[in-house]
Amino acid sequence: MDINEQRLWNRINELGRVGVDVNGGLTRLSFTDEERAAKQLVRKYMIDAGLQIREDEIGNLFGKLPGNNPNAKTVLIGSHVDTVLNGGMFDGALGVLIGIEVLQTLREKGLTTENSVEVVAFTDEEGTRFSTGMIGSKAFTGQLTSDDLTNNFDKQGISIAEAMTSQGYSPNKLETVKVEPESIKCFLEVHIEQGKILESNSVAVGSVTGIVGVRWLRVKLQGEAGHAGTTPMPLRRDPLAAAAEMITVVENLAKVQEGTVATVGQLSVNPGGVNIIPSDVEFTIDLRDLSDELLEQLLVGISSGVDSICSKRGITYTIEELHKLSGVSCSNEIKEEINTSIEKQGLEVIELPSGAGHDAMVMATFTETGMIFLRTKDGISHRPEEWADKEDVSMGAQVLYDTVLNLA
């Protein structure tokens, strides 16, 4: 291995002790002392790595290794160091620390690149504090407005702008955060998978094909309440029996195509008596796939399934779209580079979509983007138990190192 495995692992563990909360997890919300302390430590690592440091007015922290050609575009590596409430120590931090490790290794080996290579810790990817995330990468790519800063509030009623000011940033200098797409060659992010695909394939590192699009639906069914004892089956208009059929339809539609997922995560029943046929039922559907076209087909399929079940059962319904996010694809060229780097380690190449959002999702709308996933124990994330093995972390860093060498 080229990279320094122990140094990287030590940093992950050291940064993993910043912002420990009363429940034993990490809580580093944006523009708080905990997040600041995390960035201070990252700044120290960047200094140790000999990088040129700058911080922009939204709090994105950069460390740069200049290339041989000052006119060449920058290869940007990054992720974030904020966490959810009671989160783990790998989500985000891993990508930043691996980026620093890759740059430090390049510098220590005296290797120079044509392009500058820069690592970034983006501000507030998780969205936990203001219920809107990817603040740093959106500002960096010009997708955040002044209104966004003043119209989004935390639970104490503090706006993003106010929170920025409290940490010494200038909301009125938001424009200075934005860079020109021409200055960036590509963006690379290493992240824990937060799922079980790599684990179930016994592979440490995966090659991400894209970030899935998302649709959230709420289905409301109105039937007719009745006495459980005195209403014969043929006379019922039971919305829960209808919902049960629909959940099976949704599951079966999602199973047709590999990579599609569909989840019914919320369901409520009224009035909810043991001996009362429900009058109305509400449930949500979370639908994801890389292909927006396929998502739209799935919506049609679900809608038609709901309609025919309802019409058979005398149930009325509404379907509401709560949330819609288009999927983005990673760059094929970069993916091939990543695959080559994975193969170089003697590993099987597993290509997989990202089911969750990342800064890379924002960056992919701005520049060529590549993403590397690391195997995650039991698929768990956003909890203190979130875990990636040291060997896997090293492997991920090495794959990124080789990829950067080929791209920069």
81-89, 99-107, 192-200, 334-342 -> range binding a second copy (CB under 8 A): 192-200
Nearer to a second copy, 18 or 214 (CB): 214
- Evaluate the CA torsion angle 141, 145, 150, 152 in order and state its sign: negative
Q: How far apart are CA 405 and CA 102, in angstroms?
A: 10
Across 302-407, the runs of DSSP E, i.e. the strands, are 316-325, 328-329, 351-354, 368-374
Instruction: State CA 399 to chain mean position distance.
Output: 20
Q: Is residue 274 a contact residue for a second copy (CB under 8 A)?
A: yes
Q: How far apart are CA 376 and CA 167, in angstroms?
A: 33
CB < 8 Å & 24+ apart, contacts of 244-247: 245/309, 246/219, 246/283, 246/302, 246/305, 246/306, 246/309, 247/283
97, 329, 55, 169 alpha-carbon torsion, rounded to 10°:
-120
17-25, 31-39, 220-228, 396-404 -> range binding a second copy (CB under 8 A): 220-228
Candidate list 44, 228, 304, 390; residue touching a second copy; CB under 8 A: 228
Q: How far apart are CA 148 and CA 290, in angstroms?
A: 27
Q: Is residue 286 a contact residue for a second copy (CB under 8 A)?
A: yes
Number of residues that bind a second copy (CB under 8 A): 59
Residues of span 326-385 touching a second copy by CB under 8 A: 354-356, 379, 381-382
14-22, 32-40, 157-165, 276-284 -> range binding a second copy (CB under 8 A): 276-284
Q: Is residue 131 a contact residue for a second copy (CB under 8 A)?
A: no
- Closest separation between CB of residue 350 and a second copy, Å? 12
Burial label for 177, CB within 10 Å (0-12, 13-18, 19+), is buried
Q: Is residue 272 a contact residue for a second copy (CB under 8 A)?
A: yes
Nearest residue to 317 via CA among 239, 226, 264: 239
Q: Is residue 127 a contact residue for a second copy (CB under 8 A)?
A: no
- Closest separation between CB of residue 238 and a second copy, Å? 8
Q: How far apart are CA 253 and CA 224, in angstroms?
A: 28
Residues of span 381-400 touching a second copy by CB under 8 A: 381-382
Candidate list 262, 330, 397, 408; residue touching a second copy; CB under 8 A: 262
271: preceding bond cis by omega (within 30 degrees): yes
- Closest separation between CB of residue 202 and a second copy, Å? 14
Q: Is residue 24 a contact residue for a second copy (CB under 8 A)?
A: no
Q: Is residue 179 a contact residue for a second copy (CB under 8 A)?
A: no
- Closest separation between CB of residue 155 and a second copy, Å? 18
Q: Is residue 238 a contact residue for a second copy (CB under 8 A)?
A: yes
- Closest separation between CB of residue 19 and a second copy, Å? 22
Candidate list 37, 179, 276, 294; residue touching a second copy; CB under 8 A: 276
DSSP 3-state of 319: strand
Query: Are the C-beta atoms of residues 254 and 287 closer than 8 Å to each other?
Result: yes
Query: Are the C-beta atoms of residues 82 and 100 closer than 8 Å to each other?
Result: no
Q: Is residue 288 a contact residue for a second copy (CB under 8 A)?
A: yes
Residues of span 290-329 touching a second copy by CB under 8 A: 322
Q: Is residue 251 a contact residue for a second copy (CB under 8 A)?
A: yes
Where along the sequence are the contacts to a second copy (CB under 8 A)? 193-197, 200, 212, 214, 216, 226-235, 238, 240-241, 243-248, 251, 254-255, 258-267, 269, 272-278, 284, 286, 288, 322, 354-356, 379, 381-382
